[in-house]
Structure formats: C-alpha cells, structure tokens
Amino acid sequence: METRDRFNRPLRNLRLSVTDRCNLRCQYCMPEEHYTWLPREHLLSFEEISALVDAFIDVGVDKVRLTGGEPLLRRDLPALIRLLAAKPAIGDLALTTNGVLLAEQAEALRAAGLQRITVSLDTLNPERFTALTRRHDLDRVHTGIAAASSVFGALKLDTVVIREVNDRELIALVEYARTVHAEIRFIEYMDVGGATHWTREAVVSRAEILETLEQHYGRIEPILERHSAPAERFALPDGTTFGIIASTTAPFCADCDRSRVTADGMWFRCLYASEGTDLRAPLRGGASRDELSGILRTGWQQRADRGAEARLASRTREPLVPLSTLKSNPHLEMHTRGG
Ligand code: SF4
C-alpha cells in the first residue's frame, strides 16, 4: 500500500547499501586518509536485507538499487540479487558500481536477476583517474564496462564533474559512452557528508555543462518525461541522449521518492539527513513484517526532508559535516549511505 510524506511524495525507490567499504578513494566522496568503518557484526545478512525489503514493499517500494561503498566487494552478492529478484513487487532491480570488479562478476549478476547497471566513470585519462581515486584501475574499469555492455546490452555511466579536474572531458566522455552503448549522466559535485574538500567554486553547474555541449554539438533538446528519477535527460542533434543530475544548483526534492538503508540497517529519508532510524534493532529483536512496515509507514508519513533545497538556500555553503563529526559518526558519510 502506497505511503506518502508531508509533501505528498510516495516512497517507491530504495537505495540499499550492502557495504561501506570501497576499493577506490574518490576525491568527491572519500578524500580522507582514514575512515571509521561499520562493525562487521552489525552488517545485515542477506536474509535480513530480504526481510527489510519485504517491509518496504508493504509501504510502496517497487524499485531497489544496490550500492555501497562498492557493492561488488560484498561476497556472494548474486545470492542477495536472487532473493530480491524473486520478489514480484520489485519491478526494477539495479546496481551502481565503480566497475573495478565488474568484468569478473557481470555475468553472475545478470544470471541472478539484476536488470540494470550503472558504472561510475569520471575520466578517460589514466593519470587523472589515479589523481581522483588514488588507485591505478582505469583499465579494469574499461574491461568491466565492456563486459557489462555485452551482458546487459545497455548501461548508464555516472560522471561527477569537478572544475579544473575533469570538466574538459565532457565531449570525450559523451563520445566514449556512445562506443559502449551507454547513456552518460553528468553529476554536479555535491556537498554531502564526506565531501570534506567540497567548494562552491569547484561545482560545474548544469547550465555550464549544457553550454559546453551545445557549443560543440549544436542545439540540445530537453527530453520531456514525467518521472522521479534524479537525472534530467537531453538529446543531441543526432539523437544521442545524456543526463544531468543537478542536485547542487537545481535540486529535485519536490518529486523525491527515494530513501536509503545503510549496510548495518540505518534508514535515511534524505541524503542530507543528519538523523536516521535504526531498523537493525527491531529486526534482530524479532519484529514482525507488519511491525517493521509500521515503523516505515510512520517514519515516511512524518518525512519533510528537502535537503538539497535547504543547502541551496543556505548562506554559508561549505562542506556539510566537519571531519571530526564524521570520524565519530560514520553514518554521516556518503560512502556509508550509498550516494
Ligand atoms: S536532497 Fe533529500 S529530498 Fe532532496 S532529492 Fe536528495 S534525497 Fe531527496
């Protein structure tokens, strides 16, 4: 049964983090040297995640996206995908990955029932990749994208655009996406928890991205479609489509039907929320499916979050959470919430 929040937004879309660990250290998400990890014994088992998803289904969820950290680091992930794919109410089962482990896992993910895949790719330049991620894995990402392209047919690429870092690669990335049958989405750099190096000056806005692409390709047409997905989509003169996720300069909170659960069962109703709801305690305390969905229904009905809009309106725009606070509360980190 559908549940709506204070702004009449339904709860439909669940982003499920299956681990807070990652094998990359992207500057816009994990720029620090050391992190406080979630205790392993707190991580939900696949059966616990499946039980939680059943409760979310009861309050209207029909889309699930698996995230991390890096979800492909979670051992035997296809077993979880099989559990979720077996639920008729879940009409859309997707995953976001950095692609480093994708080549060896693409077929097993597909065979388990995964429907869609998004790969994060911020640059085509090996030196820049290493500067951005502090790893040397660009080749493995390319191999992973090629494997996913052949196994899934179509895929999405996500690129976080940062000024003076990769903002001169927009056209090269559009061209690359064509070659791997992918639709690329350019994401504005967000001042979320964990983005401790974020500055307003480093943000390349939706308007600038469109201007750069229009100067090169000619007139760009917006694709008018009614949906709650974060990406606005556009078409180039030759019909090639791409997206822009402009959470920083043009927030889309009005239609937001998304919420997130961390790998240890903390439920956040907004990416910018400072407080979450612990679902692990009632789950491990023997709460029934109805009791769990009751917690979700009440929690969602009280939801009034419009975090990105509030950030846009705030005068003193600097990183959302100070480093010292992140150290004491890893749930405030974007890599723990799954972006
Ligand atoms: S900032 Fe919060 S309310 Fe706004 S779109 Fe993101 S998750 Fe939704």
pLDDT digits (tens, 9 = 90+) for 42-75: 999 999 999 999 999 999 999 999 999 999 999 9
pLDDT, the chain, mean: 96
| Closest CA to ligand 1's atom 7 | 270
Q: How many angstroms from the chain centroid is the CA of residue 138?
A: 20
CB 257 within 8 A of CB 228: yes
CB 221 within 8 A of CB 195: no
CB 84 within 8 A of CB 90: yes
Å from CA of 175 to ligand 1 middle: 30
Q: Is the pLDDT of residue 315 over 80?
A: no
Query: In whole angstroms, what is the distance from residue 111 CA to residue 226 CA?
Result: 31
pLDDT, residue 200, reads 93
Give the range among 71-85, 155-169, 217-231, 233-247 with minimum mean pLDDT: 217-231
Q: How many angstroms from the chain centroid is the CA of residue 65?
A: 8
Query: In whole angstroms, what is the distance from residue 323 CA to residue 196 CA?
Result: 7
| Closest CA to ligand 1's atom 5 | 253
Digit-coded pLDDT (tens) for 99-143: 999 999 999 999 999 999 999 999 999 999 999 999 999 999 999
Give the range among 65-79, 217-231, 296-310 with minimum mean pLDDT: 217-231
Which residues are near ligand 1 (CB < 6 Å)?
251-253, 256, 258, 270-272, 305-308
pLDDT bucket at 339, cuts 50 / 70 / 90: confident
Digit-coded pLDDT (tens) for 172-213: 999 999 999 999 999 999 999 999 899 999 999 999 999 999
pLDDT, residue 322, reads 86
Å from CA of 320 to ligand 1 middle: 14
Nearest Cα neighbor of 137 from 194, 70, 183 is: 70
More confident: 338 or 11: 11
pLDDT bucket at 319, cuts 50 / 70 / 90: confident
- Strands (DSSP E) contained in the chain are 13-17, 63-67, 92-97, 116-120, 155-161, 182-188, 221-222, 232-235, 241-245, 258-261, 266-268, 277-278
Digit-coded pLDDT (tens) for 230-267: 899 999 999 999 999 999 999 999 999 999 999 999 99
Which ligand 1 atom sits nearest the alpha carbon of residue 260?
7
Q: What is the pTM of this model?
A: 0.96
pLDDT, residue 55, reads 98
Q: Which SS3 state, helix, strand or coil, does residue 15 take?
A: strand
Å from CA of 191 to ligand 1 middle: 12
Å from CA of 153 to ligand 1 middle: 30
Parallel/antiparallel/unpaired status of strands 277-278 and 266-268: antiparallel
Domain annotation for the chain: domains and CATH numbers: 13-337 (3.20.20.70)
Which residues on adjacent β-strands are paired with residue 163? none
